[in-house]
Copies of this chain bind each other. A is one copy, B any other.
Amino acid sequence: MATVENRQVVLERYIEGVPKVTDMAMKIGKIELKAPKGSGAFLVKNLYLSCDPYMRGRMRDFHGSYIPPFVPSQPIEGFGVGKVLDSDNPDFKPGDFISGITGWEEYSLIHNTSQLRKIQPDDAIPLSYHLGLLGMPGFTAYVGFYEICSPKKGEYVFVSAASGAVGQLVGQLAKLHGCYAVGSAGSRQKVDLLKNKLGFDEAFNYKEEADLDAALKRYFPEGIDIYFDNVGGEILDAALLNMRIHGRIAVCGMVSLHSISDPKGIHNLYCVVPKRIKMQGFLQSDYLDKFPEFLEHVTKNFKEGKIVYIEDMNDGLESGPAAFVGLFSGQNIGKQVICVARD
């Protein structure tokens, strides 16, 4: 087997605040396109890589979280879709497509298959959707909405970062469930997508609202039953004021912001007592037994045209750092993916 160049995106150094492009660097390694005998590993050509906000937590030098930090000078790790080129693992054969944790590089030798699954190519479903709609973000939306929010038909649902990888599916699941769904996002273009493409009943640009409490009162004159929180901070504070009795808040995404999240703190938590609010943080990885039903439900509705999905695709591994950094200023429109190679 040939030894080839293997371009990589590595973590340059641990970060403190918001990630910058210069916190990452391109590096050119070499790799033999072969899975060593006896290793149990397999060699993958990475096709699509996923930019997810949680990855920021792995850029910090903090070992107390649910997932360890990245290793400086080593390729960033994240969800990806790849094609097996060579394998010493009987479960994965050359030509198989996989979705799971891989490296930000052209080729990866994969030993750990615990967060990996084989995917069946399907002409009706872009391969990259296994990083979004049918991957971790989609499953996060599914678990958060059904398991954490216990939705009932007719309930009022608010989703922040609603056009993002997770939020866009939450709103669509809510509509399919017979709920009323309103989303917030950070640009007019995103608001337009929410209303005209993703089927939200209403949407607003939080950056244009001087008073978020008033905005929520306008969109939810009856109050909010379910708030799917992807952002924390001021929007959470305003949502607390507008929750209905026995409301539920699924806390999905504060993790992505926590080193810069609202330095003023959350002031309206007292609302949880008189309103008997349940607020719950969750990780999709606790619910993996539900993954098959998720896949079936979402695939079926997608193929029937009842669910759509918006992707923001950047071309080339070298576009990775900027695409990732863009997540934190809301540059992406929909699920941010990097195309490393088409096949």
Interface residues of A (CB under 8 A from B): 57, 65-66, 232, 236, 245, 251-255, 257-258, 261-267, 269-283, 286
User: How far is B276's CA from A283's CA once the two chains are assembled, in angstroms?
Assistant: 7
Q: How far is it, in angstroms, between the C-alpha of A274 and the C-alpha of B281 when the chains are bound?
A: 7
Which chain B residues border A251 with CB–CB below 8 Å?
A: 269, 272-273
A275 touches B281 (CB 8 A): yes
30 contacts across the A-B interface (CB closer than 8 A): A57-B274, A65-B274, A66-B245, A232-B269, A236-B269, A251-B272, A251-B273, A254-B270, A255-B274, A257-B270, A258-B270, A262-B265, A263-B267, A264-B264, A265-B265, A266-B266, A269-B269, A271-B281, A272-B279, A272-B281, A276-B280, A276-B281, A276-B282, A276-B283, A277-B280, A277-B281, A278-B279, A278-B280, A278-B281, A279-B279
Q: Are A264 and B261 in contact (CB under 8 A)?
A: no
Closest CB pairs A-B (n = 4): A265-B265, A272-B281, A258-B270, A273-B281
Q: Chain B's nearest CB lies how many Å from the CB of A225?
A: 15
**CB–CB A272/B254 < 8 A:** yes
A255 to B268 alpha-carbon distance, docked (Å)? 11
A258 to B258, CA, bound (A): 24
- Chain B residues with Cβ below 8 Å from A65 are 274
